[in-house]
Structure 1
Amino acid sequence: MHPNLLSVFFPQITLLRSIQKLFGTFSGSNRAAVMVFMCQSDSYLTHFKTTVVACQPTECKIDAGNGKLQKIKGFNVELEDTILFPEGGGQPDDRGKINEHEVKRVIRKADKALHFIEKEIEVGQIVDVDVDWKRRFDHMQQHSAQHLITAIADHEYGYKTTSWDLGKSVSFIELDTPNISEEQRQNIEKLTNKAIQDSVAVQVHVTQVGSPLLKSVRARGLPEDHVGDVRIVDMQGIDANMCCGTHVSNLSHLQCIKLLSVEKGKKGKTNLFFLAGDRILAYNGKCYNTEKELTKLLKCGPDQHVQAVERSIKQLKLAQKNCTTLLRDIAVLEASRFKLASEDQNRLLVLHRKEGNNEFMNIISNELPDTAYLFLTVGDEKGEGMFLLKGPGTFIENCGEKVAEAICGKGLAKGTKMQGKAEKLQRKDQALLTIKEYISKQES
């Protein structure tokens, strides 16, 4: 859809233009008049001098890097103003530094931004604040791309955005529709990239809570603890949306948008996955390196990768089927061999097979009489694996838990058999002593 045609559907755009002289497009010069952080007034500012207003001891949960949160002690620092964005509007918080102190979290509390650092800093001190620009610009690109995709999906098909997620590598938008056709996906992608090619300007307007203007722009409501003025992100001729996040100043800074896939979401919803800007370059680089490795491994060109993998999978399944058949045959042979040997020797079969499985152990167990004692193990002989313990009478009752404890295992006992997993098969000799002691007492 051409930008001029879009204005027919968006009378609020015309309204924004007419009131811009009254409210102004926000800049640092009128910062004192409104409750908007410097990171929101100038999202491209990477260095800033400001004053420490407060520094309070606290604890904060920080990502330890393994997907788990670690609670650490530190301080919440409030600054007179900040270029570090506190999380909000679906956008994660910034990272950066206050002097030499690494800022590990930035949260919003009413009209305050609290910066978590591990060292105390003096109140009243003038400090240098620096933002992690790579992280910030990535967030700006993905957030502005979300606004653009949301607007086009709504304008073209009436699909409302119900939520979105700015992931670490791929983002997605949840749309209020049970499905999106491939033709629709391609059309949304084409129109978003047309807006980028047209270098559409993005402006931020500031107004007050309760302003009639807010009724004419797209919004999902304000947080309960919101204090101060309200920002409207205006993609000229395309969309006007209430938002607290950081955004590019021109859609050309998005470089490109790629809609990756459409997947079924929550009941009646569809998730539209996308990449924007530098993430596309990173994704393409990763895909190219993967393509090169596959070419080397499969010994064929990229156009033949799928067929080569399909052939390999087919061959693997056939090989696995043959291995399973052979393993079953070996289990029967092991049971037969024990039957012949047990006529002249004891009734205890101790057997380990690295490539075995539960089926292998169960075949042996089923082939042998209930009078036989079995201690079967499979897997890594010096590590984790599985075990099967079997014996007549009270054998499982008296030895089951002791054997499992010896090999750090857990098993389910049923009748004359116990079967389960073991963490330390290297200690099976210790377990075997328990079994032999029991059998010796029974035979004496």
Structure 2
Amino acid sequence: MAFQCQRDCFMKEFVTTVVSCCPAEHKQEVNGKKETVKGFNVKLQDTILFPEGGGQPDDHGLIGDVPVIKVTRHGADAVHFVSSSLEVGQEVQLKLDWDRRFDHMQQHSGQHLISALAETMFGFKTTSWELGRQRSNIELDTASVTPAQLQALEEAVNEKIRAHVPVTLQLLALDDPALEKARSRGLPDDLAGPVRIIDIEGIDANMCCGTHVSNLSQLQAIKLLSTEKGKKNKTNLIFLVGNRVLKYAEKCYSTERSLVSLLKTGPDEHVEAVAKTQKCVKLLQKSNLGLLRDLALLIAQNFKSSPQRGNFFTLHKKEGDNEFMNIIANEIGPETLVFLSVGEEKGPGLFLLAGPSDVVSEMGPRALEMLEGKGAGKNGRFQGKANSLARLGEVEAVLQQRCQLLASGEE
């Protein structure tokens, strides 16, 4: 069957009846992690909430005052996952999240238009597409799209938008000869009822289950952002339609104003200003590395020249890198146990344990465990990354005690 959302994509409220309600579980993303949520699967006599399909995400909305978490299609039924149970036979009012729906309509109808003209103009067939949260992409069956082709395609799709081309819906039986004239990437195995044809007048007739605008003027504008290499000699075309174009322009303008404030230059000079800044940063980094190397040599030489030096040397610095630590260890020599670390004292960082091979082999893993890090060692060197340097003092104390035992001859 065709749901009410497919017969009338602009309907925002609808009264229907609960057909079934049973306990169910749904996996959803919470703070970047998949979690299983308990609730109920609800089937309605009909629905204005689109179940995901055809590359288009599902709708959001309410059944009465109960939020609909997910809508999926099972054969001829739309299944609404909700957190509260609903009484079978109960008459309920559906309310649609219109902003989300209209955004999906713009992106989906825009995809149909782009795909049709890409094939007509250049022979690029669409093999799949994805309606993303911020931007969408079309997979084209071509190894590359030139900048000139991208510009020509963008100009063509926006010309059709300005021409106010109608978009109509047809419901055809599976044996209707008119289906042969419609484009399709294949029908689902569990298709029930008539086949929907989305017809962009004079441009494209395509089998599709999704929701669409009724006139291309409702797309407002299309921006083809870029292309990128896809799978198996294909190209992904990244695009925005309608309100997403406006939001993108607003975001770009906000970024531009921030850069004007930071760089103290006009927008036309931003690239040059950033290039100069990067060059200065590289020079400063090079100079800083040179100073750190000189400092490492001085630290090692100062320790070696001290008459009170023992068989253990430890140092922590906020700034530094692996090379800085290795210079110190090399300069001091393998007879002394050296423990060095760089980074924020209670945050992540780097560490190095160097000296007598047997002591390093024994104490390296212990230090690694205390610093909650990852690392490895061989030939009198053990180094790694610490998740936390908060226990540096404890590590130093354990190593100091080990050196004292070694010096006393108790081992």
* TM-score, shorter chain, exceeding 0.5: yes
Gaps of 5+ in 2: none
1:185 to 144, 150, 153: 150
Spell out the pairing of 1:16-415 with structure 2 (5 A cutoff).
35-64=1-30, 66-341=31-306, 343-415=307-379
In the alignment, the residues of structure 2 paired with residue 393 and residue 153 of structure 1 have an alpha-carbon distance, to the nearest angstrom, of: 66
Task: Work out whether residues 371 and 388 of structure 2, in 8 Å CA contact, stay in contact via their aligned partners in 1.
Answer: yes
Amino acid at match of 2:8: D
Could you list the per-position Cα deviations for residues 150-208 of structure 1 after superposition, in whole angstroms to 9, with x for gaps in the alignment?
Answer: 00010111110011111111111111111111221111111111111111111110012
Number of the residue aligned with 1:434: 398
TM-score by length of 1: 0.90
**Counterpart-to-counterpart distance in 1, 2:274 and 2:320:** 27
2: CA distance, partners of 1:398 / 1:301: 60
Give the Cα–Cα distance (whole angstroms) in 1 for the partners of residues 357 and 115 of structure 2: 70
Partner-residue secondary structure (3-state), 1:279? helix
Deviations 1:297-347 (A, max 9, x none): 111111111111111111111111111111111111111111112x43212
CA deviation after TM superposition for structure 1 residue 405, in Å:
2.1
Tell me if the contact between 2:49 and 2:96 (Cα under 8 Å) persists in the aligned partners.
yes
Q: Distance in 2 between matches of 1:67 and 1:43?
A: 31
- Give the structure 2 partner of residue 421 of structure 1: 385
**In structure 2, how many angstroms separate the alpha carbons of the residues matched to 1:378 and 1:92?**
47
2-structure distance, mates of 1:430, 1:80: 68
- Once residues 4 and 398 of structure 2 are traced to their aligned partners in structure 1, the CA distance between those partners, rounded to angstroms, is 72
What number of residue pairs does the alignment pair up? 408
Secondary structure of 1:167's partner?
coil
The answer on whether the counterparts of 1:402 and 1:434 sit within 8 Å (CA) in structure 2 is no
Q: Report the AA paired with residue 11 of structure 2.
A: L
Q: Contact 1:374/1:389 (CA < 8 Å) preserved in 2?
A: yes
User: In the TM superposition, what whole-angstrom CA distance separates every residue of 1:115-160 from its partner, at most 9, and x where no partner exists?
Assistant: 0101111111001111111110000000000000000010111110
CA contact (8 A) 1:404 1:410 kept: yes
Give the TM-score taking structure 2 as reference length: 0.97
CA displacement, residues 331-369 of structure 1 (integer Å, 9 cap, x when unaligned) = 11111111112x432121110111111111111122221
Residue 62 of structure 1 contacts residue 104 of structure 1 at CA under 8 Å; is this kept in 2?
Answer: no
Deviation at 1:226, TM superposition (A): 1.5
**Rounded Cα–Cα distance in structure 1 between residues aligned with 2:401 and 2:281:** 45
Give the AA of the match of 2:336.
A
Unmatched runs of 5 consecutive residues or more in structure 1: 1-34
Moved over 3 A (4+): none
Q: Deviations over 1:200-240 (max 9, x none)?
A: 11111001223322222100111122222110000011100
Query: Counterpart amino acid of 1:249?
Result: S
Task: Tell me the amino acid that sits aligned with residue 177 of structure 2.
Answer: P
Cα separation, 2, equivalents of 1:262 and 1:285: 22
Q: Secondary structure at the match of 2:151?
A: helix
Alpha-carbon distance in structure 1 between the residues aligned to 2:278 and 2:365:
41
